[in-house]
Amino acid sequence: MQGLTARLDRLPSTPMLKKILLLTGAGWMFDAMDQGMVSGVMAAIGKEWALSTQDLALLGSAGMLGMALGAGLSGMAADRWGRRTVIMLTLVIYGVASGLSGFAVNFPMLLILRFITGFGLGGELPAASTLVSEFSPARIRGRNVILLESFWAWGWIAAALVAYLLIPVYGWRMAFWVGALPALYAAYLRKAVPESPRYLESAGRTAEAAGIVEEMEKQAGIAGAKDMPESLDSGSHSHAKVKRGGDAARLNFADLWSKRYIRSTMVLWTIWLGINLGYYGFVLWTPSLLVDRGFDLVRSFEFTLIMCLAQLPGYFSAAYLVEKVGRRKVLAVYFAGTSLAAWLFGHAGDPGEVLLYGCLLYFFSLGAWGCVYAYTPEVYPTDMRATGAGWAAAFGRIGAFSAPFIVPVVYKAYGVSAGYVYVFAMLTAVFAIVALVVLVFGSETMGKSLEEISG
């Protein structure tokens, strides 16, 4: 369909787009709740079932492995069957598995259900970010995806409330039953969230795509295609070659490593590996390490809540800057800021410094996360966009899986005091390397049509 993508890019933020962002963000929040409740749930389960440290590590790793597999496979599925379809399916998988986890009668059963929960959770994120990115006009695309990511902070806040108010009274099973809500929510989303017009166009369903764009134009009070200037209409970057059929997923994955996209793929995979390794390196182990050093405040509800709230200005500042100075510069600055904050946090000497540098660490790291999600879908064409985003996220989970094992090795090798410093020196180096890779090899996508970037 001529002019469809150009028509999308000239739109303001319509009521439909705002609704999609809000509803998709709610699903994102549920995902964050699961991640945020893990530590409190695992502590309660470990005590009730007398699990060893290795058992608890295995339980946490099962979810991470599920997320990696879910991200990779769901990305390919979203390019074949649609973004909305995959979002609904993964929410159901995640919600049902979480609810069943509350009925687990033994450790092996819980282990399997946590893997399935992770599969659904990991599968939803790349499909959701791709959907929002494809619906958004070029000038606010990055901002919208970062705002989508900001729902992660609200999910962590909700998780902190569940861990503080529900688990002590009703036990760990209640947390999993709360996590079953996404399965019910998916039924509502199915009617409320439309499919991406860019995906529909690439799949040859141009009439459906046109109907969605026309509705958005009507909401914005903008003329339709027949009244568009010829120069704008001819600016469409519609893909003539659409990959569909039995081996579409295989070809799409291979294309990630073609001469045209290998640089983008290598940069993205480096970013995803580094941010997962660094983020989960401090978010999972920091409370235990600080308690070893005598900072008991980290076990308080207030400390957890302050850390969660510090994420919000990180997201909002990144959402503003990403459309003002560009993706590459914002990514580099926020990764560099995370690196500096990690170094300062590793040298914190009193509770006030722990809180201050901890807030800076969450501010910059979550701002960086938002930019990563905004940047990732922008470097690939529509027929392989979700595949590229999904496999980048899947590769990044190697870092999330490895961090819980690497940190204690470094910590124990140098002792309580020096080990703490060396752990955060390692994390400082990880974030610094990612900042350098982005600055040197990253490309700028701000203000460009998705078709212009990847076409």
Q: Is the CB of residue 359 less than 8 Å from the CB of residue 306? A: yes
Tell me, what's the pLDDT at 232? 45
Give the span between the Cα atoms of 117 and 64, in whole angstroms. Answer: 10
How many residues does the structure list for the chain?
455
Out of 23-27, 234-238, 275-279, 387-391, pick the least confident.
Answer: 234-238
How much is the average pLDDT of 42-70?
Answer: 86
Q: Is the pLDDT of residue 238 over 60?
A: no
Reported pTM: 0.89
Per-residue confidence band for 100, with pLDDT thresholds at 50, 70 and 90:
very high
How much is the average pLDDT of 51-58?
Answer: 82
Q: Is the CB of residue 214 less than 8 Å from the CB of residue 4? A: no
Give the span between the Cα atoms of 436 and 147, in whole angstroms. Answer: 25
Q: Which residues are CB-neighbours of 290 under 8 A, at least 6 positions away?
A: 298, 354
Q: Is the pLDDT of residue 242 over 70?
A: no
The neighbour count for residue 12, using CB atoms within 10 Å, is 13
How much is the average pLDDT of 103-130?
Answer: 94
Per-residue confidence band for 98, with pLDDT thresholds at 50, 70 and 90:
very high
Tell me, what's the pLDDT at 80? 92
* Relative orientation angle of helices 83-101 and 53-81, to the nearest 10 degrees: 160
Q: Is the CB of residue 320 less than 8 Å from the CB of residue 437? A: no
Residue 191 CA to its chain's centroid (Å)? 24
Q: Is the pLDDT of residue 399 over 70?
A: yes
Three-class DSSP category at 52: coil
Out of 152-156, 311-315, 400-404, pick the least confident.
Answer: 400-404
Q: Please list the alpha-helical segments (H only) found in 203-243.
A: 206-220, 230-233
Q: Is the pLDDT of residue 197 over 50?
A: yes
Give the span between the Cα atoms of 221 and 11, in whole angstroms. Answer: 10
How much is the average pLDDT of 94-105?
Answer: 93
Distances (CA, A) of 130 to 39, 141, 269, 378: 29, 11, 17, 9
What is the DSSP track for 130-176? HHHHHHS-GGGHHHHHHHHHHHHHHHHHHHHHHHHHTHHHH-HHHHH
How much is the average pLDDT of 230-254?
Answer: 47
CATH of 4-198+248-448, one of 2.40.30.10, 1.20.1250.20, 1.10.1740.10, 3.40.190.10: 1.20.1250.20
Task: Please state, rounded to an integer, the average pLDDT across all residues of the chain.
Answer: 87
Sorted by where each begins, the domain ranges of the chain are: 4-198+248-448
Closest by CA to 48, choosing from 105, 114, 115, is: 105
Highest-confidence segment of 252-266, 289-303, 319-333, 345-359: 319-333
Tell me, what's the pLDDT at 435? 98
> pLDDT higher for 426 or 404?
426
Closest by CA to 130, choosing from 368, 372, 377, is: 377
pLDDT in tens, 434-453: 999 999 999 999 988 888 77
Q: Which residues are CB-neighbours of 245 under 8 A, at least 6 positions away?
A: none
Question: Could you give the percent of the chain with pLDDT greater than 90?
Answer: 61
First vs last C-alpha separation in the chain: 16
